[in-house]
Amino acid sequence: MKASIIGGSGYAGGEVARLLLAHPNVELAQVTSESHVGEYLYNVHPNLRGHTKLQFTTPDQIAPCDVLFVALPHGEAQKRIDALSALAPRLVDLSADFRLRDLAAYKKWYGEEHRAPNWIGKFVYGLPELHRAEMKSASYISGVGCNATATNLALLPLVRADLLDASRPIIVDIKVGSSEGGNSPSLASHHPERSGSVRTFSAVGHRHTGEVEQELGLTNVHLSITSIEMVRGVLATAHCFLKAGATEKDLWRAYRSTYKDEPFVRIVKDKTGIYRYPEPKILAGSNYADVGFEIDEATGRAVSLCAIDNLMKGAAGSAVQAMNLMCGFAERAGLEFAGLHPI
């Protein structure tokens, strides 16, 4: 099966290329970049040296293929969706353009009208843990927000088990690595300004809140994002209150019931050791999401955690996992890398 990538010079597009080059069922046919036309992929993504001799092409040189991955900056896919959809019968868009199903919600979180409103309902939201069945018959799958993914996977067991006290707010503190900002340099990414920083850049009103509200049906959830000294990774720490009488055994049942059959979600909750809670560092390059929790039974307060690699489970990894489901491949195909330790 042939797959191509529109917008392959960014970090997420580069990760899709890396995964597809090693995928047992896929031939990576073409990759575009408007700023690197004619250059080898490995000139931009040096980890791909020796794995491919593909050169970046322009979008108008893309030939029809079986699956098209779109990794353009936000807002671009919706402008071109009619032309893009004509290139392949199946399309996975990594941007935020088609994640939100409600046009009013899109305008609220992105500050503008959607430019392809008739396409919104055609896309399945791209988190397999939530939409596996729909993906198997889908033609169009959206991307996922990395912060939304970590939050959704942290809170999903509590929502499904109906353990949350809906009258109390859910506060999610999210720590992220620098790659979340993309590969375009700025003052904020300049080494003397970035190195050693612990910098909150979105204390309230983060756009990914809309995805959490949509996917979990929550109306009282609040995200705060802080960048730390890390390149890859997201750690979501969700502070919430449970219904009266909830116990640790209830949480164990909820988490095991939700994730016992999930190929890429692992429960991490040990009594000893430095990795007794989820840690994004050891997930770099992998598609795993590690989740954990604690509860103070005396107060009903629970803390739920989820760690991911923002470029993998929060972007390219989930996209390839979605492609596997859409195309009938083994769900783990091309995604078996376990991460590194030490790193």
Catalytic residue IDs: 146
Buried-exposed string 117-131: b where 16+ CB fall within 10 A, e elsewhere: eebbebbbbbbbbbb
Give the C-alpha distances (Å, rounded to integers) separating 57 from 27, 37, 319: 16, 5, 22
Q: Got the DSSP string for 251-266?
A: HHHHHHHHHTT-TTEE
Helix, strand or coil, per DSSP, at residue 164: strand
Residue 149's nearest CA partner among 131, 165, 164 is 131
Query: Strand 301-308 and strand 234-241: pairing?
Result: antiparallel
Determine phi and psi for 222, rounding to 5 degrees.
Answer: -135, 125
Tokens found for residue 196: 């050693």
Residues in the chain: 343
Whether 97 and 123 have beta carbons less than 8 Å apart is answered as no
Structure tokens, 263: 């190929």
What CA–CA distance (Å, rounded) separates 338 from 149? 19
- Longest Cα–Cα distance of the chain, Å, equals 63
Phi and psi dihedrals of 124, rounded to 5? -95, 135
